[in-house]
Structure 1
Amino acid sequence: MVRRHELTDAEWEVLSQALSGRPRLDDRVVLNGIVWKLRTGTAWRDVPARYGPWQTLYTRFRRWALDGTFTRMLAAVQVEADTAGDIDWLVSVDSTVARAHQHAAGARKKGQGAGDEVHDHALGRSRGGLTTKIHLVCDGRGRPLGFVLTGGNAADCTHFEQVMDAIKVIRLGPGRPRTRPDHILGDKGYSSRKIRAYLRKRGIGHTIPERRDQRANRRRKGRTGGRPCGFDKQLYKKRNVVERCFNRLKQWRGIATRYDKTRESYEAAVTIASLFLWLNPL
């Protein structure tokens, strides 16, 4: 009997193919424990004993996070969807903030002359405390194609190109991974000359509303201000899929509140949650 938050046989069959190294008999049990921990947001020490020693769960989670196992799992389900023609390339981009628990602070800083946590582990300090921002792009069915983690005080527009670079859907057989969507939807936070020029250069259509101050500035300049940006109000309504995507991701309590100290661990947690959005689409 499959318990709540555990892998079904179909899900395990897909994910087991991406496990690296010699397969272990308890891999499915361990992965179930990892998913249970992230779903509930509990501490590693409090994961039920039926999943094995918590030290084993944490060690396996870190190993798979660092060697790219979870990333390969996500890439595998995206490849399968793309091969079946199931990906809607009308994509939406946005960001959401996750409050960091007090236990998320204190990880060892990386590099020489590192500043605060925002440069090392995607933690930003503001009036509300430490937060992490998930910059994400999803397909037309609300499934993550790529994401980037930053501190919660980072502006959306400054990381737009990084998010776009995170789109890499590998294709079966010869050929490069697909990195370019057909059209992109974004809110006013992405309304900038740099972003629009970037999208035009790559031949990507976009629907991004112009900010009020930008419209006023353009009108003030008269003929030299340029033409108004095209905007399709009906098409823009489809941007709600990215909001629904965040809503589903934050049903995982380990995502809605960040408990992980390191960037790699929290990135792996978001990857696992994204993976299940592909396995169980809307």
Structure 2
Amino acid sequence: MARFDLTDCEWELIQPLLPNKPRGVARVDDRRVLNGIFWVLRTGSPWRDLPERYSPHTTIYNRFNRWAKAGVWVQVFETLSEKSPDSMQFIDSSIIRAHQHAASGKKGGEDHAIGRSRGGLSTKINAMVDHRGLPVAITLSPGQASDKVAVGDLLAAHPAPGTVVADRGYDARAILEMIAAHGGAGHIPTQRDRKVQRSVDPAIYRQRNLVERFFNKLKHFRKIATRYEKTARNYLAAVLLACSRLWVRFYESAS
């Protein structure tokens, strides 16, 4: 087994979530294809540099791209993460620098979540993780976008958040009201320049490092740490696949 290949336990968790192929020409072995995709995600190598043991790189990329279009990778992530309890959630974001290849695609008026921030062209990954640091909701936004804009989409993806903890960058009455409308309770400190300061339990706020540790694990996948994909759809698919790998590793360790 190669270094980044799925273990037998991980494969048993993912296999039932993949589309069936009831008729027609048999497709290349799903496990071999997934192993090839994870090799690319972890190493950050171009698809054409994929080792031959995984099949031709065109086969691997075409499967990744086709299932990204079909929403398969989104469904895999949502199924793996749906068992997360609605007890405590942590929200934060991380700026990802976009490689020049990612910014060279045709625009066509479509929003591909690439913007210009202080470090140049970049994408922002917005994440909500649970009390174990495992992701339950992920969205993308342009690098210069405010963190506050993404909260609505994160809550829509995980609508029963329980206690929600975030830093001062998310301080807004509208966000607290939004969390309350979903049945949760916001624990977000106020900006220092506000006249009325809102306190947050230090023991709860210290646990916010869980989301920071999640981003650290996510960026072990070099294809995520730098954005190479031209479309937001394919980059989000790559991020969700990496998140799915974190989930199956958790399930494997807990079994």
TM normalised by structure 1 equals: 0.83
Measure how far apart 1:89 and its partner are: 2.4
Q: What is residue 7 of structure 1 aligned with on the other side?
A: 6
Measure how far apart 1:205 and its partner are: 1.2
Q: What is residue 248 of structure 1 aligned with on the other side?
A: 217
Q: What is residue 106 of structure 1 aligned with on the other side?
A: 104
Q: What is residue 93 of structure 1 aligned with on the other side?
A: 91
Q: Verify the 8 A CA contact 1:148 1:166 in the aligned structure 2.
A: no
Does 1:34 find its partner at 2:37?
yes
Within 2, Cα distance between the matches of 1:8 and 1:67? 26
Q: What is residue 197 of structure 1 aligned with on the other side?
A: 177
Give unpaired runs (5+ residues) of structure 1. Answer: 168-178, 219-227
Q: Which has the larger radius of gyration?
A: 1
Q: Verify the 8 A CA contact 2:155 2:179 in the aligned structure 1.
A: no
| Residues 222-237 of structure 1 mapped to structure 2, 5 A cutoff | 228-237=197-206
Within 2, Cα distance between the matches of 1:89 and 1:67? 31
Q: Verify the 8 A CA contact 1:88 1:140 in the aligned structure 2.
A: no
Q: Verify the 8 A CA contact 2:88 2:130 in the aligned structure 1.
A: yes
Amino acid at match of 2:207: K
| Residues 1-282 of structure 1 mapped to structure 2, 5 A cutoff | 2-22=1-21, 24-79=27-82, 82=83, 87=85, 89-110=87-108, 114=109, 120-167=111-158, 179-214=159-194, 216=195, 218=196, 228-281=197-250
Amino acid at match of 1:133: K
TM normalised by structure 2 equals: 0.92
Within 2, Cα distance between the matches of 1:140 and 1:107? 38
Within 2, Cα distance between the matches of 1:134 and 1:9? 30
Within 1, Cα distance between the matches of 2:221 and 2:69? 21
Residues 136-178 of structure 1: CA distance to partner in whole angstroms, max 9, x if unpaired? 10001011101110111111012211111122xxxxxxxxxxx
Within 2, Cα distance between the matches of 1:163 and 1:181? 10
Within 2, Cα distance between the matches of 1:127 and 1:202? 34
Give unpaired runs (5+ residues) of structure 2. Answer: none
Within 2, Cα distance between the matches of 1:272 and 1:5? 13
Residues 109-128 of structure 1: CA distance to partner in whole angstroms, max 9, x if unpaired? 24xxx3xxxx6111011342
Measure how far apart 1:234 and its partner are: 1.3
Measure how far apart 1:194 and its partner are: 1.0
Amino acid at match of 2:215: F
RMSD: 1.7
Q: Percent identity?
A: 43
Measure how far apart 1:90 and its partner are: 0.7
Q: Verify the 8 A CA contact 2:161 2:183 in the aligned structure 1.
A: no
